Structure 1
Amino acid sequence: MDIGDYRAHDALGLAALIRQGEVSREEVFAAACAAIEADNPYLGAVVRTRFARAAREGGHLDPEAPFAGVPTLTKDLLMALEDEPLACGSASMAAWRAPENASLVTRLRQAGLCILGQTATPELGLMGITEPRAFAHPVNPWRPAHSPGGSSGGSAVAVASGLVPLALGSDGGGSIRIPASHCGLFGLKPSRGRVPLGPMFGEVWQGAVVEHALTRSVRDSAAVLDVINGMDAGSPWPLPREQGFLAALGRPPPPLRVAVSLGEPLGAPLGTRLDPEVRLAVEWAAHRLEGLGHRVDWAEPPVEGGALADSYLTLYLGHLAADLAWISEQTGVPVGRLDIEPATRAIGRLGRCLPARDYELAKRDWNRVARAMAGFHRRFDVLLLPVAAGPAPRRRALYPSPARERLMALLAIPGASRLALKAGMLKRLAAEALRMTPFTQLANLTGQPAMSLPLHITPDGLPVGVQVIGPMGDERRLLVLAAQLEADSGWGRHLPRVLG
């Protein structure tokens, strides 16, 4: 199997070829390794490989597993491989090795997936771009001068460029959906607690973070969810394993009540300006849904974007402070001497000064928003809105400028962080951090499933995804709707095929 043949198939397609004896597992493995070795120096998607270990593990795969022999990559964040590096995009963790496998990793292997390496992420997964100082910056395979988004940017680049047919990602504020939108992929964020984060973690960011995959096809996403969902031992979320996500794609959805919004309540308080191509993508998707027999109405979600952003950033600050303390414990390096980026250090200082009362009040806001959205979904089955305010930005365009980093460094002055919080710095941080991507955090706070669909390409050749959010626990309906739109639009033929 040459690299071109390898790239022509999604994950289930490769698994079928292996199962039918048309190609061997070893041939697929060799093609994947060759693709990574040839193209990753240019793409910057993969931060480390583990070909030798993966080859040994491949000899123990169940040949009847749904993805038997299919190559994949995991994200360099949370997805621990026993006794292997997990740097989380940070120089501070470069020498750290995980003590045990993540439950997700165990389930991927049981499903027959062969983990060839780990993909790039911003430091600690904190940004909607993937430009860590400690590792290479992935390039968007559609337009190399542009960002693939983040924080699962490395995984998105790996799939969009054909290094692997699917790659794992995590989503705490849009980190699967944003890179899926910028790289022309399908990206599903499952419901809160659907995929376990154990055994190292019970929940991350108060349950806002969920792990899943970036894929070329809806069927791959559904099949992955079939094998990784359900609580593990000690999970804080009593969600048993569900089956039938892939099987459900065999029939179209009944007519749905679709609410359509350009996200004004979410973006306007942050000063977001919607790119005309994003508006066109949403309007075009609404028209297509109507043509497929769904009832489409314009309606705004019952949320206020400024308050939602404040609540999200409050929890973000608190968790970063805790994460830095954990890294200090794991590495034996004092927090003040950790090798971290200036923005990470400044935000961590703000988090250390955050009153516990404010943290708890922010979490209570999550419940209020979730109840409001539950009422909204009594009127509408799904909500269609943008993923991001524009197509993929140019690389470095959204990273803090040197002047901004110098300003943030002033937080090192004793008492400055506390004064900055009192002076309203949290609101300014929220506006600056989320202005280009204010539409994805809603589903993380409420716990609802949400997906990015690659339904539009700009005249400049950049993909633009549209987001669909469903009621809590209703991934099945989202996946069935996605499969209907995939069949109607034929989006798979629009993937970039030529590198350079």
Structure 2
Amino acid sequence: MTDQSTEPGAGTSDSERARAVSAVDVREHVTRLDADLGFLATTLPPAPSRPDAPFTGEPLLVKDLDLKLAHAPLWRGNRVLREHGAVSGRDDPLGRRLRELGFDIVGRTKSAEFGLAVTTEPLAYGPVRNPWDRDHGAGGSSGGSACAVAARAVRIAHGTDLGGSLRIPAAHCGVFALKPGLMGPATTPTFEDWNQHGFVASRVDDLRRMLPVLGRGQASDAGRPGTDGPGRRLRVGVLAAAVSSAIDVGGGSVEVVQRMADRLSDQGHHVLPAHPQVLEQFDQFAMRTTPMLAGWLAKEVADASEDLGRPLTEADMEPGTARMLAMAAMATPEAVRDTVEWLRRLVTDLTAWWDRFDILLSPTVPVQAPRLGWFGDPDTAMHRTFGMMQYTAMFNASGQPALTVPCVGAGGLPYGVQLVGTHGSEANLLDLAEQLGPAEAPTLPGR
């Protein structure tokens, strides 16, 4: 891990010096926790103060994957990029906005290599350990961010979600995570649209404060059909069974979903077992979209190669990444066209369910966080990865917002339940999360 923090320099004002000392204290706190859990890829130096910005000095960690910050490291979980010390040449729009809003971007959190795994155990810099049990993983690919928030290193951390990469680690680590939706139904399914920036947080209010940062506004859509305005009796469908043959749903996950369903029913909502039947096509969805995922990966590798200054080769990648990249050859124009047409029909059928319901309640993941190394065999890793994504990935394709709410269950590890709404209902999902229980994530034992 590279620590690029700096001590307060001479010639600064008292207020600037106080802020710099505070920034150093934050970095010491973060790195102290990281020494035990391994969630950091690198720290970053304090940015110049923006006294009039709304988030001035607020600590934030960002994922080491898709978010570009000019002159800052961007290693994408890859060993060669890390050894080379690759940096971004420019800010992307969200990176620029975070800086303009005044966030103190403390560092980058570890990501699975190129974000492909639902665990964060990159060979580039070792695994992220679950703060609830260090022999277990933190989920992925935004596992570093979820772990850091669960450990209270920071209150908010950035991540990305291509098929569950925010929601899965949030569930495994016991924190909140919001995958924002597209502004309307997806018309041309592409992985560029599926991959959404979002945040994990220890409190619902913190996610609410981040809605404007994501361009989603703050106002509730109360009263609009299909949303959960205050006092409105919602139509909630409950899914508590597996929709993939890869991994069956565990009894603990079923129990916490039923507990949340009972809580909503007690509050007067209309709750019944129901879900979009098209979710049961998940195994076919995973199989048909894999070549498109490989094509998306090829573009990401090409972008990273520009930072490296030479093409990344298969020898530069983990075996699972190289295996996925090789599948890009299957993404012929004809195959992609057929898959896109199939996805359009699937998304139409999926989103039509929300004409009759307001919310889908399900597990976020079928089981609690597996032990480190469970995804280590390339021959079984893809099968297990898809099984872990069975409740999350289709909602990237449909562009619907989805929220993970942490729950405490048996066995010493947290669970997560997922709330899925219609397009534009991010604020309403947060309202509903507050009805489900404490608006703050559970505290780690001994903290």
TM-score bracket for the superposition, by shorter chain length: 0.7 to 0.9
Residue 450 of structure 1: aligned partner? 402
Q: Residue 144 of structure 1: SS of its match in structure 2?
A: strand
Q: Separation in 2 of the partners of 1:27 and 1:479?
A: 35
Does residue 227 in structure 1 map to residue 213 in structure 2? yes
Distance 1:73 1:497 in 2: 23
CA contact (8 A) 1:50 1:116 kept: yes
Q: Secondary structure at the match of 2:388?
A: coil
* Further displaced range: 110-119 or 154-163: 110-119
Which residue in the other structure is 1:323 paired with?
300
Q: Is the 8 A contact 1:166 1:213 kept in 2?
A: yes
Aligned length: 419
Equivalence for 1:307: 284
Specify the SS of the correspondent of 1:472: coil
Q: Deviations over 1:4-42 (max 9, x none)?
A: xxxxxxxxxxxxxxxxx9xx7556534421212322111
**What secondary structure sits across from 1:262 in the alignment?**
coil
Q: Report the CA distance between 1:193 and its aligned residue.
A: 6.0
* Aligned counterparts of 1:69 and 1:312: Cα–Cα separation in 2: 41
Q: Given the alignment, which residue of 243, 248, 253 partners 1:278?
A: 253
Distance 1:43 1:245, change over 3 A: farther
Which digits, 9 at most, give the CA deviation of each residue in 1:401-437, with x for residues without a partner? Answer: 5xx3xxxxxxxxxxxxxxxxxxxxxxx9864431233
Q: Determine which of 390, 413, 418 is the counterpart of 1:467.
A: 418
Aligned equivalent of 2:234: 256
Question: Is the Cα contact below 8 Å between 1:253 and 1:480 reproduced in 2?
Answer: no
Question: Shift in Å at residue 335 of structure 1?
Answer: 4.5
Find the aligned partners of 2:312 and 2:50 in 1 and give their Cα distance: 42
Matches for 1:355-434 after TM superposition, within 5 Å: 355-400=332-377, 404=379, 431-434=383-386
Corresponding residue of 1:160: 150
Distance across 2 between alignment mates of 1:431 and 1:184: 24
Letter in 1 for 2:210: V
Distance in 2, Cα, partners of 1:76 & 1:322: 17
Residues 322, 251 of structure 1: CA spacing in aligned structure 2 closer, same or farther, 3 A cutoff?
Answer: closer
Q: Is the 8 A contact 1:315 1:363 kept in 2?
A: no
Shift of 1:385: 0.9
Match of 1:412?
Answer: none
Which of 94, 107, 116 in structure 1 is aligned with 2:97?
Answer: 107
Query: Does the CA contact (< 8 Å) of 1:451 and 1:468 recur in 2?
Result: yes
Matches within 5 A, 1:49-64: 49-51=43-45, 54=46, 56-57=47-48, 59-62=49-52
Superposition TM-score, scaled by structure 2 size: 0.87
- In 1, the alpha carbon distance for the partners of 2:26 and 2:190 equals 32
Partner of 1:169: 159
> How far apart, in 1, do the equivalents of 2:290 and 2:40 lie?
29
In 2: Cα distance, 1:470 partner to 1:336 partner: 41
Instruction: Name the aligned partner's letter for residue 409 of structure 2.
Output: T
* Aligned partners of 2:358 and 2:421 also within 8 Å: yes
**Structure 1 residue corresponding to 2:387, chosen from 429, 435, 440:** 435
Q: Does the aligned pair in 2 maintain the 1:176–1:214 contact within 8 Å?
A: yes
Cα distance change of structure 1 residues 364 and 253 upon mapping to structure 2, 3 Å threshold: farther
Q: Which whole-Å CA distance do the structure 1 matches of 2:283 and 2:31 have between them?
A: 45
* Equivalent residue, structure 1, for 2:322: 345
State the distance in 2 between where 1:337 and 1:434 align: 23
> Sequence identity of aligned pairs in percent?
32
Which residue of 2 is the match for residue 15 of structure 1?
none
- Structure 1 position 296 matched with structure 2 position 271: yes
What residue in structure 2 maps to residue 494 of structure 1? 442
Match of 1:86 among 62, 74, 80: 74
Match of 1:46 among 37, 40, 44: 40
- What is the CA–CA distance in structure 2 between the aligned matches of 1:496 and 1:181, rounded to whole Å? 14
- Mapped contact 1:75–1:120 kept (Cα < 8 A): yes
Cα separation, partners in 2 of 1:329 and 1:36, compared to 1, 3 Å: closer
Q: Structure 1 residues 247, 291: CA separation in 2 closer, same or farther (over 3 Å shift)?
A: closer
Q: Distance in 2 between matches of 1:398 and 1:449?
A: 28
Looking at secondary structure, tell me which structure has more helix per residue: 1
Deviation (angstroms), 1:330: 4.5
What's the Cα RMSD here?
Answer: 2.6
**What's the counterpart of residue 203 of structure 2?**
217
Q: CA deviation at 1:114?
A: 0.8
1:252 and 1:484 in contact (8 A); partners too: no
Find the residue that maps to 2:59 and give its secondary structure: strand
CA distance in 1, matches of 2:428, 2:36: 38
C-alpha distance after superposition, 1:450-493 (max 9, x if no partner): 11111x223221110001111122212212111222xxx22636
Q: How far 1:153 sits from its partner (Å)?
A: 0.2
Query: Structure 1 residue 255: deviation in Å?
Result: 1.4
2:107 and 2:67 map into 1 onto residues whose CA distance is 11
Q: Counterpart in 1 of 2:176?
A: 186
CA contact (8 A) 1:223 1:246 kept: no
- Does the aligned pair in 1 maintain the 2:351–2:398 contact within 8 Å? no
Q: For residue 457 of structure 1, what is the amino acid of its counterpart?
A: V
Instruction: Give CA-to-partner distance per residue, 1:272-302, whole Å, 9 cap, x none.
Output: 2111000101111100111111100111312
Where do 4+ consecutive residues of structure 1 move more than 4 Å?
24-28, 245-248
Structure 2 CA distance for partners of 1:73 and 1:475, relative to 1, 3 Å: same
Q: Which runs of 5+ in 1 are unaligned?
A: 1-20, 195-202, 230-240, 405-427
Normalising by structure 1, we get a TM-score of 0.78
Aligned to 1:144: 134
Deviates more, 1:135-144 or 1:313-322: 313-322
